[in-house]
Chain A
Amino acid sequence: MQVSMKVNGEEVTREIEPRVLLVHFIREELGLTGTHWGCDTTNCGTCVVLLDGQPVKSCTVLAASAHGHEVRTVEGLASNGSLDPVQQGFMAEHGLQCGFCTPGMMLTARALLDKNPHPDELQIRQAISGQICRCTGYATIVRSVQWAAEHPAAAGDPPGTGTDEEDVRA
């Protein structure tokens, strides 16, 4: 069957089997391997992408169901060469260690901040409660999202690459 959807703003069309899951469509048909594939059982949340702006576990959505809809993956977070504030927050606050859960965490964070620009710590923890970080990095992930909330217009050079003295020291 033929499916068409908008992925990171770009219209894509592919011929697929109906049983292809969205995560495999994204990774294998489109080659966007930033979306990770983990537990296969809707538990770990590393495959989270935004479907029409809402975080969903793409291992449990048929690519066919996404036909005619908009998908945003981690590759679509940065715009015009600038990292999203969420991505900058994960850098600034060391929100990742191995990085496996990071794409899903960042997309959930983006959706949370779009809906609620000033979440408290509990709201952040609840928002990511369906996603697992096996480096036990939850505290820094929460701080990364808080950083992004405090720097909503931080789009620009990522921290550490500019000439800011503090960054250079870091």
Chain B
Amino acid sequence: MQIPAAFDYVRASSIDDALALLQQHGPESRVLAGGHSLLPMMKLRLARPEWLIDINELTELDYIRRDADVLRIGAMTRHTTLLESPDVGRLFPIVRDAEQVIADPVVRNRGTIGGSLCQADPAEDLSTVCKVLRAEAVIRGPNGERVLRMDEFHRGPYETALEQTELLCEVRLPVRQRSGSAYEKVERRVGDWAVAAAGAAVALAPDGTIEDAAVGLTAVGLEGTATEAETLLRGKRPAEELFAEAGRAAAAACDPVADQRGPVDYKRHLADELTRRVLRRACGRAGAEREG
């Protein structure tokens, strides 16, 4: 029977209360969001917090709001809510692509965007999605609020820029004109972690060339985004040969590790092929006329 080690439990009644509790209980306290990453780690005793600060009652962090040029997503928004949001699906189809393959529908009822990003598992999908969308993380702490770019927030496997006394409150996705995005993952079965996955977001110039592109990879050891691939894409007209070049560049930039999900060569092949597919789909969604 897997049971977490003993801990003390407290429910936060507001954001300020959660921040006060984090201060009060110090480094041995952890925030409990949906719990679908933290509780399994606690059962395996890979995490042994002395205090859990449950923020599931903070419904003020469960929202999706559209402002003029930004979509604001509260950190306690559940995966199911993101998947079913028409605004999210229309403006950021990459989020819908990813949410369809994050864990399974029952897990998605509980897991949250904030929890996923803070856990920062190397095979976690939304970190890649948020990086290619150039999202911002809104963090609150004892000294007020600060806003970080997602590539500043996400520091690597299981590591974020969040201080122990801080709480991730909101994710901001910038809305861009003539943009498209896509995500695709290869997994061994429903609900498994990715063997590999790729995400892309593009914005087109009025003349149909690629004004800006971002390419990210999941579970294959790429820090940040695939900048070489992005440089190749910028200023060019969407075309199959261009996507292939970008795919090769992304595959060369990553550093996968062989494990029970596959050998290095296979993962690198997936990085290449999945990059091509998501670029094709992202450009199509942005309304591009493709050559070749």
Contacts and interface: CB of A to CB of B under 8 A. Distances in A.
Contacts, number: 81
Nearest to A66: B56
A57 B9 contact: no
B7 A56 contact: no
B43 interface: yes
Interface stretch (A16-24, A92-100, A157-165): A16-24
A108 B80 CA distance: 14
Interface string B78-115: 00100000000000000000000001111101100000
- B contacts with A: majority SS: loop
A126 B83 CA distance: 13
A41 B44 CA distance: 10
Given A18-B8, A41-B40, A55 B3 contact: no
A76 interface: no
B6 to A, nearest CB: 6
B105 A127 contact: yes
A33 to B, nearest CB: 15
A71 B198 CA distance: 38
Interface string A19-31: 1010010000000
Indicate the size class of the contact surface on chain B.
20 to 34
Interface residues of A, number: 30
A36 to B, nearest CB: 14
B2 interface: yes
A40 B109 contact: no
Interface stretch (A6-14, A42-50, A77-85, A141-149): A42-50
A131 interface: yes
The 3 A-B residue pairs with the shortest CB-CB distance, nearest first, are A130-B104, A18-B9, A40-B2
Interface of B: 1-9, 11, 32, 35-36, 39-40, 43, 52, 54, 56-57, 80, 103-107, 109-110, 190-191
6 contacts: A40-B1, A48-B106, A54-B80, A54-B109, A56-B110, A130-B103
Interface of A: 1, 17-19, 21, 24, 40-43, 45, 48, 54-57, 59-62, 64-65, 67-68, 108, 126-127, 129-131
